[in-house]
Amino acid sequence: MPRVYTLSQARRSLPGIAAVVTVMRKRAQKLDELTAIASSVRRSTSADGGPVVADDSELQAEIARLEGQIAMLIEHIQQQGVEVKDIRRGLVDWRAEREGREVYLCWQHGERTVSWWHELADGFAGRQPIVVSEWV
């Protein structure tokens, strides 16, 4: 059964989660850059129109290393009962209870605190601002 957070618990956990999300986003950005380079290398052609044969083993090893690091960062967040929804945006959700039903408390990289919530099925598009007096 997933962990259920109160608003204050989610907010207290945010600094640690935010730090991991920041590192995760940087790794994902670097991964995107290297993946684009690898794709470009695969599409390269020589002056005579034939394919360029390049040894991209170091590039592929770095891509695999970054993928492993990102997976470990996601696992670290998930072990705390927080769900990673979007790596590149730095979007995470904490399960919470509101009026007797499970919902998500929602935070995205760059936001000062956990200030949004949404129904489990609604996702980011259904985010609503948290009115603290309704969460006590």
pLDDT of residue 132: 86
pLDDT of residue 53: 56
pLDDT, one tens digit per residue, over 16-66 is 999 999 999 999 999 999 998 888 776 654 455 555 556 678 888 999 999
Buried/exposed 53-84: b ≥16 CB within 10 Å, e otherwise: eeeeeeeeebbeebeebbeebbebbeeebbeb
Instruction: Write down the pTM of the prediction.
Output: 0.86
pLDDT of residue 11: 97
Domain boundaries, the chain: 7-134
Asked whether residue 107 carries a pLDDT value surpassing 60, the answer given is: yes
Asked whether residue 93 carries a pLDDT value surpassing 60, the answer given is: yes
CA distances from 54 to 25, 30, 103 (A): 29, 21, 50
